[in-house]
Structure 1
Amino acid sequence: MWPVIAAFLYFYWLMVKITFYYIPFSTNAAFLQIKQTEVQSLPEYIYLFYAHVYSSIFVLLFGFLQFFSFKSPLGTKIHRISGYQYVVLLLIFAAPSGIYMGWHANGGAGSKLSFILLGLLWWSCTAVAMLRIKQRRFAAHRNWMIRSFALSFSAVTLRLWKVGIVYFFHLPPLDVYQIIAWLGWVPNLIIAEIIIYNQQKK
């Protein structure tokens, strides 16, 4: 368990450092430098972009906390509060803004389709997880949360794939983006299904 925690904290810190690029609010920071067409022509783009960046960093943390077994009353309370924050931030801010950004993604129709589909699945898996816990169907709730967090973690895996592909294959930036648009989340979801399947066999 500790190696998993250490690995997550390392990657989470890398994501926090990326988030710092967007503090304070700016219309041309980091990634936005290549999105100036959208920034200039779509007034809502910049606000939805920042809604996605600022909410997603907390979604990643709160989602990770959901997979620890808390035995004490305080631990149970922390689990519920962090779960509530995860669901609210994701359903209201992170996923909807991600779907909007997917519509304006670089890389053509394939990349747009990937990011829109990712956002829709992310929102849907989380909504179903919330519904299942309200129904007190705990095993089903956990399974849908595994799927939801696998998609949340695409923020990390997308960047890992990008580094690996650039380092080993030296592809043009647009080609890399088109590839990682799918590699960032599809393998995550496959792994999530394998985990769920193995748990159900026990």
Structure 2
Amino acid sequence: MVRRNTLKVTKFLALVTLLFFSFLMLRITLPYLSLERDVRFLQIKRAVIDNDGWRTAFFVHVFSSIFLLIAGFTQFFSPLKKRYSAVHKLVGKMYVVILLFISGPAGLIMAFYANGGWTSQLAFVTLSFFWLWTTAKAWLAIRDRDFVSHGEWMIRSFALTLSALTLRAWKFVLVMILHPPPMTLYMIVAWLGWIPNLLLAEWLIRKQYAPRILRG
């Protein structure tokens, strides 16, 4: 009983934290609706801003990732799964399709132009590979009606989706504590933004917390 209550409290605190950073992410994203070339992050991408392929990939990735974050949260929300199973399945399918064919490939294109040189580029290319791979494995598992494996791979996939939030959270923390130079900071968070997520997801699966998480 104590362990179950602890898990519920942990999930609640994690949800509140993630919702807070999701709100911040939304605030960061909204200015890009103008499609202007001098908004926020784009101001430091002058070297590639005129590259139509990169610019298209950027806007596609930014806007589609917001949907993936929202969709991912709903997949672990018990009332939705129980009362509206058809909606749960539809949103899950949209998550997989958009990630595999839209947001994931766009993110991979962006990875090759990441700030911080080859260190950051390698980090984001690796992240893109694992993001696409874990999601493809989740899709293959549900196609074979292996629900347990599907759930575990979805946990891994969403852990990587959350890198959009955790990267910015780590950036905030590191700036507050260490004040590193901008490019050094970028090289650090390029790895720190997703590796702990994946390790935590794997730990939860290995410790058999996955079924409880998936039940909501």
**TM-score normalised per structure 1:** 0.94
Instruction: State whether structure 2 residue 99 is matched by structure 1 residue 90.
Output: yes
Per the alignment, do residues 71 and 59 of structure 1 end up closer, same or farther by CA in structure 2, a change over 3 Å counting?
closer
CA–CA separation in structure 2 for the residues paired with 1:139 and 1:23: 39
Cα offset, 1:69, TM superposition? 2.9
Which of 1 and 2 has higher RCO (CA within 8 Å, sep 6+)? 2
1:154–1:185 Cα contact (<8 Å) kept = yes
Alignment equivalent of 1:5, drawn from 8, 11, 15: 15
CA–CA separation in structure 1 for the residues paired with 2:102 and 2:210: 36
Alignment equivalent of 1:165, drawn from 166, 174, 178: 174
- Could you tell me the percent identity over the aligned residues? 43
Alignment equivalent of 2:41, drawn from 31, 34, 59: 31
Q: Which residue of 1 aligns with 2:155?
A: 146
* Structure 2 counterpart SS, 1:161: helix
Cα offset, 1:71, TM superposition? 7.7
> 1:8 corresponds to which letter in structure 2?
L
CA–CA separation in structure 1 for the residues paired with 2:14 and 2:167: 19
* Structure 2 counterpart SS, 1:136: coil
1:107–1:178 Cα contact (<8 Å) kept = yes
CA–CA separation in structure 1 for the residues paired with 2:197 and 2:144: 27
2:170–2:192 Cα contact (<8 Å) kept = yes
Q: Please, which runs of 5 or more residues in structure 2 have no aligned partner?
A: 1-10, 212-216
* Structure 2 counterpart SS, 1:39: coil
Q: Which residue of 2 aligns with 1:195?
A: 204
Instruction: State whether structure 2 residue 22 is matched by structure 1 residue 22.
Output: no
Aligned length: 201
CA–CA separation in structure 2 for the residues paired with 1:110 and 1:81: 38
Let me know the Cα RMSD of the aligned residues. Answer: 1.8
Q: Deviations over 1:57-90 (max 9, x none)?
A: 0001101111123587742112111101111111
CA–CA separation in structure 1 for the residues paired with 2:182 and 2:103: 25
> 2:120 corresponds to which letter in structure 1?
S
Cα offset, 1:200, TM superposition? 7.1
1:70–1:79 Cα contact (<8 Å) kept = no
Q: Deviations over 1:32-68 (max 9, x none)?
A: 111111012x221111100000000000110111112
> 2:64 corresponds to which letter in structure 1?
S
Q: Please, which runs of 5 or more residues in structure 1 have no aligned partner?
A: none
> 1:50 corresponds to which letter in structure 2?
F
